[in-house]
Amino acid sequence: MTYSQPSCADIFESGLMSYEDALLRILSSLSAIKGSERLPIERARGRILHKSVISTLEVPSHTNSAVDGYALRASDLSGRDDYRLLIRDVALAGRQFDGVIEKGECLRIMTGAAIPEPLDTVIMQEHVELEDGCIRINHHYRAGKNVRHAGEDIRIGDTVLAAGRVLTPPDIGLLASVGISEIEVKRRLTLAIASTGDEVFAPGQALCPGGLYDSNRYSLIAALDRPDIEIVDLGILPDDVDALLKSFNEAGCYADVIISSGGVSVGEADFTKLALSNSGQVDFWKVAIKPGRPLAFGRIGQAAFFGLPGNPVAVMVTFYFFVLPALEKMLGMVDKPVAPTFKARTTEDLRKVPGRTEIQRAIISRDENGEWIVRTTGKQGSGILRSMSLANAFIVLDHEDAGISAGEMVTVKPFCGMF
C-alpha cells in the first residue's frame, strides 16, 4: 500500500504527527551556520548580515539646508511683519563656506549646503521677493525651518542594521550612507537537490512508456534561486538503493542540506525509504498535513536531509511549510521579510475533516466593497501542479477545522512575499 494519495479515511490511522510537531522537531534539531564572507555592498542584497553594523559617523555629517533658499538668523525675524535682509554671499552643496554673515544679512543657500553658524533657519526661495540685492519676507516663518541637523538620521554609535537581517535595497543604501563599502554576510547555504524515480525523465528527453517529466527538481531549484543559496543539482536518481546511497552520501560530505523528492512512502518501490531507513539518521514520518503526508527528515553526513513526497504539489507545500523555515533558521535570519497571512471570505464550501492541516491552492481577490475573498483553483489533487500554478495564495485550514461553508472567513497566505 502506498500513501501518495491520502484519503479522508487515512486520518483515523494512528501515528500521524501534527504539522506543528513536525515543524518543531525539524527546527529544534537545526542550528545556524557559522561561516561568513566579505562582499562589496552592491553584491550583498538578499544576503544575511553577519554582525551588527555600528555607525562611526553622523548622517548627515553637517547641519545643512533642506531647500534652495536663504539662510538667516531667526532672531532677525522677530517683532515685525515685513523684513528686508541683505544677501551677503552664496553657499553651495559640497563647498566649504568661510564667510561671515552679519546681523540683518542672509546667505543664499542651495539644498544640501552646510549652514554656517549662527544661522539657524532657511526660507524657501519661493517665499521671498528679491529687491536690490535683498530679500523681502512678508509672512511668519518658524525658527529652525528647513534645517537638517547633523546626526538627525544616524548618530555615532547607533546600530545601523542588526545581525541576522536580510539586506534589502534601502539597507544597502544605508550602509553606503555611513561610508561602508564592504560588509560581512553569512556564507551561502549549499543545497543538493535530487529527484528520484525510474519513471521520471528530464525535460528535453524522450519519454518512455509510463514515464513522466521531472517537475519537482525544477520547481525547487526555481524556489531556491536566491542570493543566499547555492544549488548543486544531483539530477534524477534511479530507483536503486546503492545509487541513491552513493549520491546522498557524496552530497553529505559537502552540502548543508540535501533535498530529494519521491520514494518516501511505504510502498515496495519507495527506494529513498529503503535506502535510508537503516541508516539510523533519517526518520520517516506520516505528518497530518494534506498534501504532503509522507516526509523524511534527518541527517546524512554533515547535511540535513529532507525527503519530500513525490507528488509535485506535495513537494511545493512541504517545501514552503517545512524546508523554507528550516533554511531560514540555518541561515541565521532574525529579521526576515514577513509574508503576511490574513483572513478572507471563502466564496465556496470547503471540504475538510478535523485531524490534519490542509493547504489548499486558491485565488484571492477583492470584492466590490474592497473586502478580501478567496476561491480555490479547482481540483486539489496533490499531483495537479496547475492547481498551484493558477493560485496566488494558500488557504490554510488548521488541524481542528471541520468543513467550511461559503461566506465564512479562512486564513490565507499569499504567495506574494513568499516566492
Site of interaction with ligand AMP (CB under 6 A): 4, 195, 197, 199-200, 212, 214-217, 261-263, 265, 309-312
- The binder of 47, among ligand AMP, Mg ion, none, by C-beta within 5 to 8 A per type, is none
The cell numbers describing 194, all together, are: 535530487
Q: Any idea how long the chain is?
A: 419
Q: Which residue has the cell 546524512?
A: 300
Q: Minimum Å distance from CB 196 to Mg ion?
A: 6
Range list of β-strands (E), 117-204: 121-124, 129-131, 134-137, 147-148, 159-161, 182-186, 189-196, 200-201
Smallest gap from Cβ 15 to Mg ion, in A, equals 22
Residue among 64 and 272 whose Cβ is closer to ligand AMP: 272
Q: Which residue is nearest to ligand AMP (CB)?
A: 310
- As measured in angstroms, the least distance from the Cβ of 351 to ligand AMP is 22
How buried is 23 (Cβ within 10 angstroms: 0-12 exposed, 13-18 middle, 19+ buried)? middle
195 touches which of ligand AMP, Mg ion, none (CB within 5 to 8 A by kind)? ligand AMP
Of 262 and 291, nearer to Mg ion (C-beta) is: 262
Least distance from C-beta 183 to ligand AMP, angstroms? 38
Residue 186: CB minimum distance to ligand AMP, A? 30
312: partner contacted, choices ligand AMP, Mg ion, none (Cβ within 5-8 A by kind): ligand AMP
Residue by residue, DSSP assigns 195-217 as: EE-TTEE-TTSPPPTT-EE--HH
Binding partner selected for residue 200 from ligand AMP, Mg ion, none, CB under the kind-specific 5 to 8 Å limit? ligand AMP
Q: Which three cell numbers stand for residue 367?
A: 470584492
Where does this chain bind Mg ion (CB under 5 A)? Answer: 197, 262-263, 310
Q: How far is CA 403 from CA 11, 343, 406, 409, in A?
A: 15, 16, 10, 12
Distance of CA 187 to the CA centre of its chain: 17
Nearer to ligand AMP, 247 or 311 (CB): 311
Cell of 82: 515685513
Give the shortest CB-258-to-ligand AMP separation in angstroms: 15
Helix (H, G, I), strand (E, B) or coil at 41: helix
> Measured from the CB atom, is 294 or 310 closer to Mg ion?
310
Cα(322)–Cα(356) distance, integer angstroms: 15
From ligand AMP, Mg ion, none, which one binds at residue 357 (CB under 5 to 8 Å depending on kind)? Answer: none
Question: Residue 164 or 263: which CB sits closer to Mg ion?
Answer: 263
